[in-house]
A = this chain, B = another copy of it.
Amino acid sequence: MDYESANVSERRMLPPRIAVSSVAFALEPHGEISGAPDAGLSGAGASMTDAAVTETVTLWIPLVRRNREPFAGTWALPGGPLEWDEAPLDTARRTLADAIGASPSETVLDPANSANSANPANSANPANSANPANSANPANSRSPANQAGPAYLEQLYAFGAPERSASDQRLVTIAYWALIESSASGSTETQNGTRDNTQPENVAWFSADSLPPLAFDHADIVAYALWRLRNKTAYSSVAYRFLGDSFTLAELRAVHEAILGTRTDPANFRRQALASGNLVPTGEVERGTRYRPAKMYRFHEHPASDGMGFSPEP
């Protein structure tokens, strides 16, 4: 992590570059994701060669191997420069799609839409309503027939310390974090256990627990994103975005447990999940189980469930 200090006189002249990088989480069993040519790197890399190590479900993150200086050859978060006519959120979507081979599709967002309702006087009794930012996608209802763009995308932080890039030009990075729908979830899509094969050669998925050395301060960014994901999972509802349109409560609970690394009593989890008012029974039931089939639910934001309602990024 030693940045060689750059040429100051040059740096002073150059305008800062603005980039967007994304931490995209996917939830998969070990050994189920298509690796890159030579993943498994120095010590911690998650080599995909040994199939089905354990059947634990864990968080995976796509990384891109840099082919330019600085940090050429090291893994980095997917991302790219902010184009002149592009909103940062769109840059995140686009570069993420480029990296993991998905069409830019549904978006979920930031302290999102409806700038009007950011009024005071709704702060009355915050005790039980979840907490900070999160909100509903106004044009929700996930479009079914697409290659799974991020199911959730939210700004994380803008990193702008002058010393974070070793190059001549200063680099300000707006970081996003995203959730990718699990390939094993109910949707009608590719169930081959391998993520869409259109992803480029220099991309690989790594277990969030054991990442290779990362370029820039990307390791910090990942740590922060992980922290945010866990917080939002615990206090708010994002976990369902890893799943398809409909899911069982056991699936939802499994996602929670995988993210938080805890066990939860199924009975209590059920009650709390249902009490949130955000789960609507679809009427369908699970099929093909050896045991009693579970009811399926769909997520639907309860009116006034939390809603700060505000859209910094339209």
- Chain B residues with Cβ below 8 Å from A230 are 120, 123
> A158 touching B155 by the CB < 8 A rule?
yes
Provide the A116-137 mask, 1 if CB < 8 A to any CB of B, else 0.
0010110111100001110000
Q: In the complex, what residue of chain B is closest to A119 when comparing beta carbons?
A: B223
Q: How many copies does the complex hold?
A: 2
In the assembled complex, how far is the CB of residue A118 from the closest CB belonging to chain B, in whole angstroms? 4
- Chain B residues with Cβ below 8 Å from A159 are 312-313
A38 interface hit (Cβ, 8 Å):
no
- Chain B residues with Cβ below 8 Å from A124 are 261-262
Given A118-B223, A118-B227, A158-B88, A123:B174 Cβ within 8 A: no
Binding site for B on A (CB under 8 A): 11-12, 15-16, 18, 82, 84-88, 110-111, 115, 118, 120-121, 123-126, 131-133, 155, 157-162, 170, 172, 174, 209, 217, 220-221, 223-224, 226-228, 230-231, 234-235, 260-262, 308, 310-314
- Beyond the given A87-B162, A126-B260, could you list 5 further A-B residue pairs with CB under 8 A, ordered by the A residue number? A84-B162, A124-B261, A223-B310, A224-B312, A227-B310
19 residue pairs A–B, Cβ–Cβ below 8 Å: A12-B85, A18-B160, A82-B160, A86-B162, A111-B224, A118-B226, A120-B209, A120-B226, A120-B261, A121-B261, A126-B260, A131-B131, A132-B132, A132-B235, A157-B312, A159-B312, A159-B313, A172-B174, A217-B312
Query: Nearest 3 A-B pairs (CB), nearest first?
Result: A158-B158, A15-B15, A118-B223
